[in-house]
Amino acid sequence: MRKLVVGSRRSKLALTQSQQFIDKLKAIDPDLEIEIKEIVTKGDKIVDKQLSKVGGKGLFVKEIQQELFDNEIDMAIHSLKDVPSVIPDGLTLGCIPDREIPFDAYIAKNHVTLEDLPDGSIVGTSSLRRGAQILAKYPNLEIKWIRGNIDTRLNKLYNEDYDAIILAAAGLKRMGWSDDIVTTYLDKDTLVPAIGQGALGIECRADDTELLELLAKVHNEEVANCVTAERTFLKEMNGSCQVPIGGYATIEQDGIIEFTGLIMTPDGTERYEHTVRGKDPVTLGKQVSEVLNEQGAYDIIKALNEEN
C-alpha cells in the first residue's frame, strides 16, 4: 500500500478522531504509512457568527474536498453530521466506521437537571435543532448562542452567564472526558439527534480502488444503513443548518431499521415528527419526508431557506 495522506480539520477533536481512525487502519495493517495534513476550513475561520447565518455545515468540508480533487490528500475523515447530503461527483464515502454515542450531552452548573432549571435560565447551544427542541419542552428557558471547541464552551459555561450548555456526546467521548462532567445524556425522546451525529464519514476519490479495499475492512454496514436513512431524509427535505432538523435510526435484532425524522420551527412552536420501520434505509428516509411534507413541514424549510 502506498503512503496515505489524511485530510483533517485542525481542531483538537478533528485531529483526535482522525488519529483514532488511523489507529484502526494500522491495527489491520501495521505497516501502513499514514500522515495527517491539517486543513483550515472556512467554518473554522468564522467563529463569531452562527453557522446558520454564514452558509451551514458545508463550510467544514469544501476545502477538504478540494484537496481530494487536487490529489493533495487520499482521504478525509469527517464528522458525518458536517457532511452535506449530496457528495460531489468523483468523491464517495469509502466507509462508515463504528458509531460513537449519537445523543446530546447536557452539562449544567451544579448538575441542576433540565427540568429543575429556574425560569429564565440560559442554555447555550449553537444548534437550531437543539434550541427548538428545548424551547418546545421548556418554554420557560432562554437559548443563547455559543460556539467554540469543547474546552471553550465549558469555560464559557463556568465563567459567563450560562446556566447549562448542550454538546454532542460523541465529541466528549472521543476526547476522553469523564462521564462525571455530564449532568445527563439526552435520549431521542428528549432531543432527537442531528443527522449522522456520532458517526464518521471517510471520504475519498471514487476511483481509488486500492484505498476502498482497505476501508472496506473497517466499514460497519449496520451503522451505514442507519446513517443512510438519516441522510436520505436530510436530502429529501432539503435540510440545512438554517433548519431545525433531526433524525435518528437504529437497527433491531431482526435487521429491521427504525427511523425517526423531525422538523421544527426555531422557536419550538411547530413540530413535525414521524417514525417508520422497515429494511431499506433509502425507502425509510423518503417515507418520513413524504409524511412530514404532507403535514406541512416543507413550508417551514422553504421559509427558513428563503430567509437565509
User: How many contiguous H segments (helices) and E segments (strands) does the chain have?
Assistant: 11, 13
Catalytic residue numbers, as ranges: 82
pLDDT at 119: 97
pLDDT at 59 (0 to 100): 63
CA–CA separation, 81 and 57 (whole Å):
8
Residues of the chain with CATH 3.30.160.40: 245-307
Class assignment of domain 245-307? alpha beta
Would you identify the CATH topology of the domain 104-186? D-Maltodextrin-Binding Protein; domain 2 (3.40.190)
List the chain residues with pLDDT less than 70: 42-59, 239-241, 308
pTM over 0.85: yes
CATH class of the domain whose range is 4-98+199-219: alpha beta
Residue 239: φ, ψ to 5°: -75, 155
Please report the pLDDT score of residue 18 as a whole number: 96
Beta 164-168 vs 104-108: how paired, if at all? Answer: antiparallel
Q: Quote the CA–CA distance of 115 and 145 in Å, as a whole number.
A: 20
| Residues forming CATH 3.40.190.10 domain(s) in the chain | 4-98+199-219, 104-186
pLDDT for 301 equals 85
Is the separation of the CB atoms in 115 and 123 below 8 Å?
no
**Separation CA 198–CA 266 (nearest Å):** 23
Residues 35-60 have pLDDT tens digits of 999 998 755 555 555 555 545 556 67
For residue 6, give every residue at least 6 positions away whose Cβ sits within 8 Å of its Cβ, in sequence order, or none. 18, 22, 34, 35, 36, 37, 73, 74, 75, 76, 77
C-alpha cell of 77? Answer: 475523515
